[in-house]
Amino acid sequence: MPEGDAVWRAARRLHQAFTGQVLIRTDFRWPSLATTTLVGARTLEVIPRGKHMLHRVEVSGRGTLDGAWTIHSHFRMDGTWRHSATTHPPGAFRTPTVRAVLATAERTAVGDTLGMLDVVRTADEHLLVGHLGPDVLGRDWDAARAAAHLATASGTIGAALLDQRNLAGLGTIWTAESLFAQRISPWRPASDLTADELVALAVRAQKLIAGSLRYPLSTSTGDTRRGRETYVYRRLRQPCRRCGTPVSAGMVGTPPQDRNLFYCPTCQAH
């Protein structure tokens, strides 16, 4: 599942290719957007917000539609945004999972398997992302505020880290890796952790995910070779890199929001 750093990379790629360029084709394959077109709009910026992407454009010369608009998307489990040269004939991108096509004269971006797609006035973005906690990769990052949110969570610390209202951007990779780094069991009640533990955990999560931005893929170890990217994530039954105990896994949260987290039973004993 794409996490904050994956969305950050995707947003950066689109930002670099689209900023300042005019859209010559917009195709939203989403029921509520069937009649929406942003042809002629110019891209101002593309930014990540937690696991959401905000593609901001400026419309002019269209009367009441003039002004700043945002194409909001969420990657959910398997979503992607990719772009390539605009050379495709009309009728291309007929794959049923394609949800959006945005083209400039130079580049065409395709949003596939997106979990959410909206077009809103930029002034109304908060209606879509206002519920998010401090963004681990955002300008508003605030470890103390994230820790304060975690302290009031009712469930386990594993579930609390995954709840985007507490802090935004972590999925199962960074939740597992951060808890391992801090030697905290995913099943400890969030309210049992001390204020210092929670702040240190939030700081660690941000450092790990931000550190991963230097690489083309998610890595907490700084090693991008296959199977060496993480300490515990997807390393079931392999020896813990710290103590040698076989890595284990278990569910946190309540269905249907429950997720599988990897951990070391020795380093992260209850």
Catalytic positions, written as ranges: 2-3, 51, 259
φ/ψ of 96, rounded to 5, equals -65, -20
Please tell me the distance from the alpha carbon of residue 140 to that of residue 48, in angstroms, as a whole number.
12
Shortest separation between residue 217's beta carbon and Zn ion, angstroms: 24
Cβ closest to Zn ion, residue 238 vs residue 257:
238
Interacting residue ranges for Zn ion, rule: CB under 5 A: 240, 242-243, 245, 264, 266-267
Could you tell me how far CA 161 lies from the centroid of its own chain? 13
| 43, 55 Cβ separation under 8 angstroms | yes
Shortest separation between residue 251's beta carbon and Zn ion, angstroms: 20
Shortest separation between residue 268's beta carbon and Zn ion, angstroms: 7
| 51, 87 Cβ separation under 8 angstroms | no
Please tell me the distance from the alpha carbon of residue 176 to that of residue 37, in angstroms, as a whole number.
41
Token pair for 162 = 């995954």
Q: End-to-end CA distance of the chain, in Å?
A: 27
Shortest separation between residue 267's beta carbon and Zn ion, angstroms: 3
Please tell me the distance from the alpha carbon of residue 240 to that of residue 263, in angstroms, as a whole number.
9
Closest residue to Zn ion, based on beta-carbon distance = 240
Cβ closest to Zn ion, residue 195 vs residue 243:
243
Please tell me the distance from the alpha carbon of residue 204 to that of residue 46, in angstroms, as a whole number.
26
Shortest separation between residue 177's beta carbon and Zn ion, angstroms: 13
Please tell me the distance from the alpha carbon of residue 23 to that of residue 119, in angstroms, as a whole number.
14
CA-based diameter of the chain, in Å? 66
